[in-house]
Amino acid sequence: MYRIVLLLVFTCAGLTEPASVGGKGEYDPMHPQLPIINDGIVNENGRVKRGALPLKFIAPEMETHVAITKNHLNKNMARNVILFIGDGMSIATVTASRVYNGGEEQQLSFDKFPYSGLSKTYCANTQVADSACSATAYLGGVKANYATLGVTATVALSDCGAENRTSNHVASIAEWAQRNQMSTGFVTTTEVTNASPAGLYSHSANRNWENDRQLIADGGNPDVCTDIARQLIHGKIGENLNVIMGGGRRHFLPEWETDVDGSPGTRGDGVNLIKQWKRHHRKHAARYTETREELQQVNGATVDYLFGLFSNEHMPFHLEDEAEKKPTLTEMVSKALDVLEKNDKGYLLFVEGGRIDHGHHKTQAARALDETIEFSKAIEHARLRTSEKDTLIIVSADHSHTMAMAGYSSRGNDILGINNAQIGLDHLPYATLSYANGPGYEMHEEQTGGRRNLLRLNMHRQTFEFPSTIPLAEETHGGDDVPVYASGPWAHIFTGTYEQHYIPHAIGYAACIGDGLHSRGNDILGINNAQIGLDHLPYATLSYANGPGYEMHEEQTGGRRNLLRLNMHRQTFEFPSTIPLAEETHGGDDVPVYASGPWAHIFTGTYEQHYIPHAIGYAACIGDGLHSCTDEQPH
């Protein structure tokens, strides 16, 4: 009782009415000058706290930042690429996580990256993105419709027929990397069939079609459209992934089978996709793991394919007790790098901190911020393991959330607590963190219509639902831009504000993968990167006057095929030809002659082809013609 009374007295002392401003005693309600603002600048030793100092006192930090950003631009080819996506990691989430991690002046690992930018996240048909259309953007370079994966915007939600047309499929950066014989893989704290990682390997008209039961429930036909889990195991990209780690065992097991934890599968077709993965890779150095202990025992130096499913559904929040039995995101990233880094041609790794998003949807800010810290740890590990000389690391988010960090709390105020500088007009305290909508509305509304007194609630409980303005069962995403942080080769091209689907094209440029512009010159086996045809389609740098490539590249409509949809690096790919012939003919143009050694200079100029043996005879003093050794006509 005494503790509560003392707390209320302290609170009332701190939450005072705003002081007047200016010389006339007027009050500026938009920018209140509160007594708390002048508090806490000097610490107990009488020194001004870090962050409250004039610019000259942070000169060492300034010098460090300038040194990093003024370094000569790293224009090496990116041999390796690691793309980290914090699902729902808005700018407010990053800021609040710093405070949660130790204070306003703290830095998360990716705050130290030398380059940053902003990404615009809207879908092709909605102002606010979901994780599917955004994954198609930052992994495939194309904006898609809400809740669709790996397909163009011509595919409407749940349009099974349109999904099946390969002309509507979008090639991801994983496909680009595999064409270049790079190792590929992904790690996530969600189900491996969830929208973000599925953008690497699937083409689906509905992100919810993770297994055949879900596809049927939405009116889809599993005989026509392939569910996402099956695409991961049997799709042309999925079956070649070297690393797959996360949760979601249920999508790979029949509904009558249980997993290692005793939880049932959800497939209705009776297929055990885990067994099929093992069978497919039986001749490879492959390992399937289900526990943290099994993963720790994997020797990445001897394993080429690693499949880890550590939960029946999503992996638990880091704050949950169950999490101690599961590998951390950092542990999964470390093992993934063990497997991937053996490839001399490099690797592409996608890493998702997926449960940041789930914390926000429940307005459980404590979980969202803690997941962000775990995400930051994994990034720090990856950066320490790799070299900036040849490894491009990108950190971003797929979309934002509606969480706001508001008010004028003092430095060091508890980010999960109440604002200590101001109270509401109803004379009740308010939280520093709140949401525009979500389940927190009911949590904080009294039957009388007034707000609940937050001082009576345990705001540090990990499942505490922070206040929301609009009552919804689940909080929504936000439509604001999300941050992008970059380090390594060509990181400087990720500065500025740009469309989200710019990101994979910039990655392709840095790593020289895909069909777009490349930092090391245009791909001779790709499309011309400087011009398109009058039909608004790209054309190949290489083509033939005649040959079998004519049929290969002519549609029945008479128009050319879009080369961006074809694998031009396949060794049997037939390049475009103007005239249809079964076999391409020879050409009649002159051919070059190169010479080195004695009398090589007599091979310059343009001459008849039969001049060549006479010139050879002259240089070597053979034959019946002129000889260099006598310069006379032989008898």
Domain ranges of the chain: 2-33+404-471, 80-402+477-511, 532-580, 594-635
Mean pLDDT of the chain: 88
Say whether 352 counts as a known binding-site residue.
Answer: yes
Report residue 229's pLDDT band, with 50, 70 and 90 as the boundaries.
very high
Here the contacts of 7-13 (C-beta below 8 Å, separation 24 or greater) are: 7/455, 8/455, 11/418, 11/420, 11/429, 11/455
- For residue 158, say whether it is annotated as part of any ligand binding site: no
| Mean pLDDT, residues 272-300 taken together | 97
For residue 400, the one-letter residue type is: S
361 is in an annotated binding site: yes
Q: What's residue 520's pLDDT?
A: 78
Is 218 labeled as ligand-binding? no
**Cβ(290)–Cβ(296) under 8 Å?**
no
Q: Which residues of 59-94 are buried (b: 16+ CB within 10 A; e: fewer)?
A: eeeeeeeeeeeeeeebebbbbbbbbbbbbbbbbbbb
Nearest to 82 by CA among 168, 206, 184, 2: 184
Place of tokens 């979500």: 438
433: amino acid identity, one letter: L
User: For residue 47, what pLDDT band results from cuts at 50, 70 and 90?
Assistant: low
Query: What is the distance between the alpha carbons of residues 38 and 48, in angstroms, rounded to a whole number?
Result: 12
pLDDT score, position 55 = 46
* Residue 593 pLDDT greater than 50, yes or no: yes
- Residue 497's closest CA among 480, 517, 519? 480
- Asked whether the predicted pLDDT for residue 635 surpasses 60, the reply is no
Helix (H) or strand (E) holding 301: none
Asked if pLDDT for residue 223 goes beyond 70, the answer is: yes
Neighbours of 436 (CB within 10 A): 15
pLDDT over 50 (residue 319): yes
Fold for the domain defined by 80-402+477-511: Alkaline Phosphatase, subunit A (3.40.720)
CB 77 within 8 A of CB 519: yes
Q: Determine whether 131 is an active site residue.
A: yes
Q: Rounded mean pLDDT of 589-599? A: 91
Tell me what the mean pLDDT of segment 135-143 comes to.
Answer: 98
414 annotated as belonging to a binding site for a ligand:
no
Q: What is the DSSP letter of 231?
A: H
Work out the pLDDT band at 631, boundaries 50, 70, 90.
Answer: low
Looking at residues 191-213, what average pLDDT do you find? Answer: 98
Task: Quote the tokens at residue 502.
Answer: 């710019």
Q: Which of 169-183, 288-302, 350-364, 592-606 has the lowest mean pLDDT?
A: 592-606
Cα–Cα distance, 73 to 82 (Å, whole number): 19
Type of residue numbered 541: T
Residue 555 pLDDT grade (very low, low, confident, very high; cuts 50, 70, 90)? low
Q: Which residues contact 340 (CB under 8 A, 6 or more apart)?
A: 80, 183, 184, 185, 242, 243, 347, 349
- Region 524-552: mean pLDDT is 79
Band (12; pLDDT cuts 50, 70, 90): very low
Give the pLDDT band of residue 211 (cuts 50, 70, 90).
very high
The annotation status of 87 as a binding-site residue, yes or no, is yes
From the number of C-beta atoms within 10 Å of its C-beta (0-12, 13-18, 19+), residue 606 rates as: exposed
Distance CA 635, CA 628 (A): 15
pLDDT-based confidence at residue 14 (cuts at 50, 70, 90): very low
Are the C-beta atoms of residues 342 and 302 closer than 8 Å to each other? no
**Mean pLDDT of all residues in 114-138:** 98
Predicted local confidence at residue 19, as pLDDT: 42
Per-residue model confidence (pLDDT) at position 515: 86
Q: What is the pLDDT of residue 525?
A: 83
pLDDT, tens only, 248-284: 999 999 999 999 999 999 999 999 999 999 999 999 9
Mean pLDDT of 330-338: 99
Q: Give how far the C-alpha of residue 58 lies from the chain's centroid of Cα atoms, to the nearest Å.
A: 34
Could you tell me how many residues make up the chain?
635
Give me the pLDDT at residue 430, please. 95
Q: Of residues 78 and 582, which shows the higher confidence score?
A: 78
In the chain, what percentage of residues exceed pLDDT 90? 71
The token pair that represents 12 in the structure block: 């009332």
Checking if the pLDDT of 172 tops 60, the result is yes
Query: What confidence tier does 66 reach under pLDDT thresholds 50, 70, 90?
Result: low
Tell me the two tokens of residue 188: 């996530």
pTM value > 0.75 = yes
Which of 148-157, 191-200, 507-516, 564-573 is predicted least confidently? 564-573
Q: Which of 30-34, 312-316, 408-412, 571-575 has the lowest mean pLDDT?
A: 30-34
Read off the pLDDT of each residue in 74-99 and give the average, rounded to a whole number: 97
| pLDDT greater than 60 at residue 72 | yes
User: What is the rounded distance in angstroms from the CA atom of residue 469 to the CA atom of residue 334?
Assistant: 41
- Tens of pLDDT, residues 356-405: 999 999 999 999 999 999 999 999 999 999 999 999 999 999 999 999 99
Q: Which of 97, 116, 119, 131 is catalytic?
A: 131
pLDDT for the residue 49: 53
Range from 44-48, 355-359, 514-518 carrying the lowest mean pLDDT: 44-48
User: Tell me, what's the pLDDT at 560?
Assistant: 83
